[in-house]
Amino acid sequence: MHSDGYYFGTTLAKRIDYFAFPRTGSHFLWTSLTGMLDLVFFPNQFVDNPEARQRNDELNPLATYAMKLREDGVPFQPVYIDAAPNGVHGTPRLGDHPLLLLIRDPHPTIYSWYHTSVDRWGAKVDDVPAWIAEAYRGYARFYDDALALHRANPARVHLVRFEELKASATVLAGVAAFIGVRPKLSPEFVFEWTRFERMTRPGQRTFYRTGDSVTWKADTQWRDWLRAAAPGDFSRFGYPEST
């Protein structure tokens, strides 16, 4: 560590701050970024703990191997992305560094968060509609703040939508351009290897669940709970209502 920044050897790492609400696809994005960027980290509890290692066990080892490759002639360009600049999932704020935001449709986001909490972490939820309503309120607060930053600082705040990230390699190219580095692997190569069905191991998974935006719609119990929670209109974030 240097007083003026984070040096990796003699090279100053580009610093980016990152904000995303729980279960919006951060780990999917970060798997992609390991193929695009020379990511460097401070030793910390977020990247070296049993939970992080268990998440990696749900990934296809061929995909994780592919993300470690490098095209000939691409220089080493260290990038430090701080995923907790205001605490884990803390209120988005713009500091001294450019900011990367990830957003996802709130409906599969909250559905995934609930099932990961219950199925993976053993959470006990006595009043599911109340839990859903509070989760949606938290989502709204988070992205009202996040998108206000984006509107006010379009040159310094880059927005990625999970749905677009899964649909096109141009999103990854846009992230690299925003950071200002040459990708170590082409966005098209990374995109192909990180298609959700390809990057995950087959079988039951508790963290990388389905990666889609439709599973919640087929769950009749969830839809009953959702109607009882009445989370309201989220069209201001570019997503449809919950009904």
pLDDT at 199: 85
pLDDT at residue 213, rounded to an integer: 76
Percent of the chain with pLDDT over 70: 88
Alpha-helix runs per DSSP H in the chain: 26-36, 50-56, 61-66, 106-115, 128-152, 162-167, 170-179, 187-193, 196-199, 220-229
Q: What is the pLDDT of residue 3?
A: 45
Please answer whether residues 121 and 22 qualify as being in contact, where contact means their C-beta atoms are separated by less than 8 angstroms.
no
- Class level of CATH domain 7-237: alpha beta
Place of tokens 């995934």: 112
Q: Is the pLDDT of residue 43 over 80?
A: no
The terminus-to-terminus CA distance of the chain in angstroms comes to 50
Q: What mean pLDDT do residues 10-33 have? A: 90
Domain ranges of the chain: 7-237
Query: Residue 116 has what pLDDT?
Result: 84
Give the range among 49-53, 107-111, 151-155, 213-217 with minimum mean pLDDT.
49-53
pTM of the model: 0.88
Residue ranges in 7-124 assigned as alpha helix (H): 26-36, 50-56, 61-66, 106-115
The pLDDT value given to residue 202: 84
All residues at 6 or more sequence positions from 56 whose CB lies less than 8 Å from its CB, including other chains: 64
Q: How confident is the model at residue 107 (pLDDT cuts 50, 70, 90)?
A: very high
Per DSSP, the three-state class of 16 is strand
Strand-pair partners of 160: 102
Q: What is the pLDDT of residue 41?
A: 80
**pLDDT tens per residue across span 58-104:** 888 999 999 999 999 999 999 999 998 998 899 999 999 999 999 99
Q: How far apart are CA 133 and CA 139, in angstroms?
A: 10
Mean pLDDT, the chain, whole residue set: 88
Note the pLDDT tens digit of each residue in 58-69. Answer: 888 999 999 999
149's tokens:
């930053």
